[in-house]
Every structure is written in C-alpha cells, then in structure tokens.
Amino acid sequence: MSGGGMRAVERCRALGQAPFSDMASGLYRGWLSPAHRASLAQLAAWMAEAGMTTHVDGAANLIGRYPGTGNGPPLIIGSHIDSVRDGGVYDGPLGVMLGIECIAALHAAGRRMPFAIEVIAFGDEEGSRFPAAMLTSKALAGLLDAVPEMADAEGVTLAQALGEWGLSPQTLLAARHPGALAYFEAHIEQGPVLEAEGLALGVVTGIAAQLRYEVTVMGLAGHAGTSAMPLRRDALAGSAEMILAVERIAQADASDLVATVGRIEAAPGAANVIAGQVRFTIDVRAGEATRRDRAAAAILAEIATITTQRALGVSHRLIHDLPPSPCDPALMEQLEAALVAAGHPPRRLVSGAGHDAMNLAHLAPTAMLFIRCRDGISHNPAEHVEPADAQGALAVMLGFIDNLGASCA
C-alpha cells in the first residue's frame, strides 16, 4: 500500500538506526543527545517539506507550525521522540509522523483551517537519560517552577547538556506555550486490548491515576542449613506472599485496575543465607483515583496482615502519586465521530501508560487516539504497527481536524 500512513511508518523505521540512535545496535535516543539532535534536523526537514515553518524552543522541543485563517490559539498535535534503551521505533515518533502527514495532506489540498496547527516533537517523555520524565512537556505546559539538579549515567549534568545546545535551565523554565485550542496525541496502545478485539483504533478516555510505593520487609538473616523452618523470619518468603496478594487483589477488582511488582531486591543475596531484608515496588493504576486508592489500601492492609502472621517488620513509602487525566468529553465525541465516519466501530479505552497529554491537559483540552500494536508489545525492538492501521489513523485524524474546524466556524 502507499499513502501518508505508510510513509509515517517508514519514517519511524528510518529514525530507528544511526545517526538517530545513541546505540550501535538497536534504538536508544536520549534527550539532548547526538541522536536527538540528528533526529530534530531530519524531522525539521520533513516538517518543512509538508508546509510548516519550524523552530526549537528552550526545552529542545521541535515545533512545526502551519498557519490557519484565524488568529486564535492553535491545535497542537504532539508526541515524543525519545526512547527507552533498546526500545521500539513507534512509541512516540508515530504520533509525530502522523501529525506531519496531516499537515502534508492539508497543504497538498491547499486547505487552511480556522486555527493554526502546530506539530510538536517532545524530547523527554521517557526520562531515560536523566532521572526525571516528561520535563519537556511539563515545561511547555508551564508546570515547572524550578529545574532539579540531576546528572545522567555518565555524570553529565542537565545544565551541561542544555548548555551544549545553547540552552539553560532558565530557557527550560521559559519554554511555556502561550496557549492552545486543543491538544491531540496519536500513540500506539502499548497493550493488547485493541488487537484482542480485532480493532485497529480506539478513542482514549483518559490516562490512569497511578500510585507507586517502595516496600521494605525486615526479617532475620540466618544460615540456610541450620535454621529450622518453624523458627524462620524469612523476609523473601513473606514478600512472595505479599506479591501474590498484590496480584490477587488487582484481579478481584475485575475492572481496568492493574497492579504490578516490577522490582525486587533481597539481602544479603547469598544462596545459603535466609533473606533478612527485601525491597520491592508496587505500582497501582486505574482510570479513577477512588478505585486506585481503594485497591492500594487493600494491598497495604494485606501486607500488614502477612507481616504480623510471619513476625516480620515492614515499612513503605510513597514514591509518586499521579492523578487521572481525563480527555475532554467534547473532543472525544468529535474524535469518535471521525472514527465511525472512517469505517471503524466505536471503542473507548483508558490509557494505563503515562503520556505527554497528561501535562498538556493543564494547557488545553486533550484528545488521544490509540493505534493497535502487534501482541501489545512496546518498549521492545519487537514493537510493530501495520501500515494499514497507520493509514486508518491518519484518516481519523484528518476527520477530527475537520470536525474541530466545523465546531469553530
């Protein structure tokens, strides 16, 4: 097949290799890295070819602008172009490429909307270089009051990395956008729901509320051969029971709630020593904060019960608490109308993953479109999108732009 969707897919693949990756084999594109710089140059060329003027803001976001017939605030179409280490090529860039294709289609037809359209390539959604995520969309949305001092794995500070681009923490803070009519983001689902239902596309209702804890379980280290089973205070065995409780409580909710233990560390970590201390993380997400909080409370209560039964000690600390970010109801209606008009059945689903849209919601009403990805795989080189699905997404995006234009008339 041919068309803008195919071209968007091909361009994502092109950005998956040198000089657009900081890895010799595989994809890693960190914010403010050489690969990031090379990618912005290529994206700027594609934006100009589509009919946009471009500039890089104080956060190293690339912004392409296609003027409209009016002088009001623009529609922003955006996503991120950074990646996790050894990641997939579509997570983030596909939304940028489809935004460029929307402008290319309008420009080829000689069409202008009542509003300008800006396509933005955010540089730091994943937080894979510095120990903080979404700094560039936070800056654009005006959510940064200060720039934290931090360094990457090689000891390069954020201030130094910005300086290499002629930028600074001050320019990052000053990168706030003056305002937008709406924000739209197309993104791969990063999950299996659409594929399981035989659907290519879905309308996102919002981004899930998230809680993350670090739990420390204290037991008593002892010799594996001489400590009798009834007398043990095994922190690892107790943690195993707690982890299964996390899974059980989340499954019993029978909703969009999910809970994950993603990291576990046992000490002293010797094969012949009973674990005396274990640390693990708990990540709890749901479309509604009340459901998330109820499950988290049940999990912590179950952990306390297991601790008492096993004569262990426990402590936990909240790492972060992200509120839900619902999409705008009116924009969802316009997007769903475009979805149906393009021949797709209506389907709404919540995003369990975080996206730049959750920050842009502080600047403007938001809408998101999910695109099916094979086996639900993301953050992995096996990440795959069918060109036909990308072409379908492009048609829906153009329909959404038309619907938004009609509502502004």
Cis peptide before 268 (omega within 30 of 0): yes
Report pLDDT for 282. Answer: 96
Beta bridge partners of 223: 273
Residue 321 three-state SS: strand
Residue with tokens 């999108």: 385
Q: What amino acid occupies position 140?
A: L
Q: What is the pLDDT of residues 32-84, one digit of tens each?
A: 999 999 999 999 999 999 999 999 999 999 999 999 999 999 999 999 999 99
Query: DSSP secondary-structure letter at 143?
Result: -
- CA neighbor of 114 nearest in space, from 404, 328, 399: 404
Q: What is the pLDDT of residues 107-156, one digit of tens each?
A: 999 999 999 999 999 999 998 899 888 999 999 999 999 998 899 989 99
Cβ(230)–Cβ(298) under 8 Å? no
Report pLDDT for 133. Answer: 84
Please report how many Cα atoms fall inside a 13 Å half-sphere around the Cα of residue 289, on the Cβ side. Answer: 6
Report pLDDT for 179. Answer: 96
**Residue 373 to residue 186: CA distance in whole angstroms:** 13
Report pLDDT for 131. Answer: 82
Secondary structure of 97-109 as H, E, C letters: HHHHHHHHHHHHC
CA distances from 65 to 247, 380, 397 (A): 46, 32, 17
pTM of structure:
0.86
CA distances from 204 to 89, 163, 295 (A): 21, 37, 23
Which domains, and CATH codes, for the chain? Answer: 4-207+324-408 (3.40.630.10), 209-322 (3.30.70.360)
**Residue 82 to residue 90: CA distance in whole angstroms:** 11
How many helices (H) and strands (E) in the chain? 12, 16
Report pLDDT for 397. Answer: 98
**In this structure, what token pair is assigned to residue 260?**
């994950």
Q: Which residues of the chain have pLDDT under 50?
A: 1
